[in-house]
Chain A
Amino acid sequence: MIRARGLARSFTGRKGREKTEVVAVAGVDLDVEAGEIVGFLGPNGAGKTTTLRMLTTLLRPTAGTATVAGYDVATQPVEVRRRIGYVSQSGSTLPEALAGEEVVDHGRLYGIPKAQAERRARELFEQLDLDGLWTRRPSAMSGGQRRRLDIAMGLVHDPTLVFLDEPTTGLDPQARANLWTHISTLRAERGATVFLTTHYLDEADALCDRILVIDHGRIVASDTPEALKQQVAGDLIELTVADPVQAAAAATALSSLAPGSTADVDGTAVSLRIPRAGRELAGLLRELDRQGVALESIEVRRPTLDDVFLTVTGRSLREDA
């Protein structure tokens, strides 16, 4: 559904008298199969939005190629536009227009006859829990309703591929969970392919079949959330000992589980990351008991996508989010 090779974009700017070239996307290779829900992750400034704008024909690549929904973004943009839906971060409706009319007019710009566009729009209002808001102004809607209206705008022409740019940014937790359901439904009921960017790792985890991580304008990781977590991180075992004097003994016991690694010691807290911690736990406890280490607590944490992110990009996604 999407195939990009060496897709790159740089902007020329001016710094005083000198021309400077800023590379926003350095060369992205990515493939998305039909029917996939793919999450596109990256810190701010990593090139997420620029990549998305190239894939949706809003920005011409300076190098490389991309085929979207079967057509080349640079040479056949109109064909691409016919087949994709794009829900941008910045909204898509005028605050003082009427919600229903905005969706119908948008559909008509795709060449859909008026009656058909209206039927489809009403259907979408029902599916997206916007019943009764047909004549409401977007300015009088809640953030969640406006977001769903933007999604209705993006779906009015039944696209086979939908791009969502940070669909849940700024929504409260309930509205987010509600939107996730709608996004999963997109594929389940309509077989649509979904490509979404997000800042939220739990969102990517909950929604996506596959995650692409972009950093400094390049794809640095691409796999299922589970595989990514297993590959790069492993489980975290955290021990708290009662007496700081015993911390060293606990660290030795913990380190022996994974040859070549050393546990971190911070006061009474001792931690180590190892794959499949569950298997090692019984042995570890016996060893600690044998050495007479008194434990306050023991905790095993499964790796999170944030751990993955930290490993592949060297920074936490939340730092500059």
Chain B
Amino acid sequence: MNSFFRETWVVFWRQFRIAVRNPAWVIIGLAQPILYLVLFGPLLEPLASQFGVDNAYTIFVPGLLVQLGLFGALFAGFNLVAEWRAGVVEAERVTPASRAALLVGRILRDVVQLVVQGVVLIALGYAFGLRASVPGMLYGLLLTVLLGAACAAASNALALTTKSEDVMAPLINSIAMPVLLLSGILLPMSLGPQWLQTVSDFIPTKSVVEGIRAVFVGNFGQPALWGTIWAVTIFVVFVVLGTRTFRKENA
């Protein structure tokens, strides 16, 4: 177990150093939440009363958090395809290091990115007028991280299975697009007609978004519970799946 943590750290630190040295990674990573907030936030403000909340940003910021978690992390696998092509994955697999550490170290890089983006988003949201429960925001960030880690694991597993950006890009887009729309990330699903709401009930990330919205307004009741259950479930399933892919030969 001890060596697992050490190996995870070595993998993470290598990934993190390489990423931070790439200015595009840093700039795009920070610009994403800022652009959404600045360019889309003001449109929602006048609609706050229709959502049944006092503060539009308690609807909007949780949605953006989940979007960051989903989208940023789902594309994490592209890095891995490049690494695989350069022979890095194979070189790591002939070392005695735990296969799980090779995956978890990489996920950790995406988690750190997500936490920084989330904190920037919340801080900036505050400047725009977000007023929300502090423990709620922290808990919301935690749920976002679980979801993001799951997506990063899934994306890495997909990368090792397909080994091709050309296959991955359309695949990820065709999954992420409906999930994004049906989770009510930009606008709550409660605004939609009944059939759309029914369809969206089958999208687990909707529960997570609604859970985060609930805790932001200080409500740790049933929506928060369901959001947590789903976030944890998705996390466990995809991390296990990802580790199995790293263990598989030929991957």
Contact = CB atoms under 8 A, between A and B. Distances in A.
A110 B95 contact: yes
Contacts of A81: 94-96
B93 A58 contact: yes
Contacts of A78: 96
Contacts of A101: 14, 17
B149 to A, nearest CB: 22
B92 interface: yes
A206 interface: no
A296 B82 CA distance: 60
B95 A58 contact: no
Closest 10 CB pairs of A and B: A92-B91, A90-B87, A91-B87, A109-B95, A109-B97, A86-B94, A81-B96, A108-B10, A105-B14, A78-B96
A58 B18 contact: no
B88 A93 contact: yes
A40 B3 CA distance: 35
B88 to A, nearest CB: 6
B50 interface: no
16 contacts: A57-B94, A58-B93, A59-B250, A79-B96, A81-B95, A81-B96, A82-B96, A88-B90, A91-B86, A92-B90, A93-B86, A93-B87, A96-B18, A96-B22, A106-B91, A111-B96
Interface in A88-115: 88, 90-97, 101-102, 105-106, 108-111
Given A91-B86, A94-B86, A109 B18 contact: no
Contact of A97 (B14, B85, B90): B14
Interface of B: 3, 6-7, 10-11, 13-14, 17-18, 21-22, 82-83, 85-88, 90-97, 249-250
Contacts of A88: 87, 90-91
A28 interface: no
A95 B88 CA distance: 10
Nearest to A117: B10
A86 B14 CA distance: 20
Contacts of B87: 88, 90-93, 150
Contacts of B6: 108, 111
Nearest to B79: A94
A149 B173 CA distance: 38
Contacts of B249: 58-60
Given A59-B249, A108-B6, A111-B6, 9 more contacts: A58-B90, A59-B250, A81-B95, A86-B91, A94-B82, A94-B86, A101-B14, A109-B11, A109-B96
